[in-house]
Chain A
């Protein structure tokens, strides 16, 4: 047994899993408040990363500023997508709406291929030091930043839903739109806000992933990888999304370890989460934290 490797992969899994959790939260946020399954989540994330990269490389802005601009851009982008693409579909069959988000995903892929090319681009070195030493352990700065941002985003989500009036309005809308409306909540506003927050947070996740690896359109695969996380946790539970994300992240890396050390099958890493997904759905069809009544697609 290679204990060092195991430990390293465990930490990796945790950090990547937190990031999955963040993306899964965006996904759940949209599903919960607007009943839309957003297949373009991965593209949102990549677009955010590209926009940040563009501000740094082409506009020569410092990283922090570029990051802030990218976040602002994506927030507005989220609102526009909701208003132009999804608002006309309110009240249409759920399957039509899902088709539209798949279309949106293909459209965004093509757009990004056209605008940014299909090769992977690196971010310039953002941090002075590549690794920091914590208690004798060498951790990559980007990973550390990823962890810090994930925790921060989760904390803000918690604060938002628990203590702000819009959070309360969103929870009310998710539960029953008609009643929320009669209590003076503008459902349109809540929908826009859900998409805006989701796009904003996706952007944060995208930039972090871009820093760890590189920006490329294939990063959008995260949008698909997040599925097992979301479904394991239950489609409509935000805490479930985080737990699901961490489970999937750790699982991937453990599968890698078992495969690399003992089995030598190759690519267990990609498949393992889906095995677990099937097993969990057999035992609890509505996910670990979800409520019973969810759409099957």
Chain B
């Protein structure tokens, strides 16, 4: 369902430095509406930094990120939920002592209109109607990710795989057009990975959500991605269809850890890819 899609997200010439360390150097890429776009690369390559630039956690010193044609630089982090960007975190970040249901409900926050004063007029103020509506949406998400059996448990007591799923549910709850997944399958066993891959595909196909994903498991990345970008030492070394990227010499070198000199000699060529 890709190829012809219009641009949803575009990053141009992103430079991000922490003091003297260059986390990202001149990274440009774009994501089309409705695709699954993966960012891969060795540890410390700047994948999460890139995601944080999109979600607003970091502010790149140079470069421009546009989303639906509007610039994202300078917008507040919480604004991003309102314009339809959701994310999950690499290290689990659930509200451990709150129930699964409440965790997902937090994702609806920016969609709810009643405050606690109008909420006091529960029956007349429309708060009841609103709450029912959102409860239904949340139940749909719970059904979708098959976590009915744990809906009332405190999130902190769940198994690792389930927590990852609840985190995904919470990100879906904000009704995103674009969802950023930071290693959704890290630390999972094969079965859990397969489930997660299926949920991501369903999310993409049934709900039409565009997915930008960081993942280390090459098998999964190659199976479900429409396009892949490879980062190494903060630079983009390749981008394209999964099979193209896998065939790329630079990528294999980066992953197998061959001499850097070779890589730098051919930098011009790499940038052209």
Contact = CB atoms under 8 A, between A and B. Distances in A.
Contacts of A164: 115-116, 119
Interface string A175-189: 110111111111100
Interface in B71-90: 76-82, 86-87, 89
A178 B57 contact: yes
Given A169-B109, A175-B96, A176-B95, A183 B119 contact: no
B119 to A, nearest CB: 6
Interface residues of A, number: 23
A182 B77 contact: yes
Given A160-B116, A176-B95, A178-B57, A183 B105 contact: no
A168 B106 contact: yes
9 contacts: A165-B109, A171-B98, A178-B93, A182-B57, A182-B81, A182-B86, A182-B87, A185-B106, A185-B110
A171 B80 CA distance: 20
Nearest to B120: A159
A179 B109 CA distance: 13
Q: Which of B106, B110, B119 has the most CB of A within 10 A?
A: B106
B119 A175 contact: no
Interface of B: 55, 57, 76-82, 86-87, 89, 93, 95-98, 102, 105-110, 112, 114-116, 119, 170, 174
Pick from A167, A179, A187 the residue with the most CB of B within 10 Å: A179
Contacts of A167: 116
The majority secondary structure among interface residues of chain A is helix
Interface in A170-212: 171-172, 175-176, 178-187
A187 to B, nearest CB: 7
Contacts of A165: 105, 108-109, 112, 114-116, 119
A262 to B, nearest CB: 44
Nearest to B111: A184
A171 B99 CA distance: 12
A183 B55 contact: no
A178 B87 CA distance: 11
Nearest to B55: A182
Nearest to A156: B116
A165 B93 CA distance: 20
A69 interface: no
A257 B15 CA distance: 71
Given A164-B115, A184-B110, A184-B174, A171 B95 contact: yes
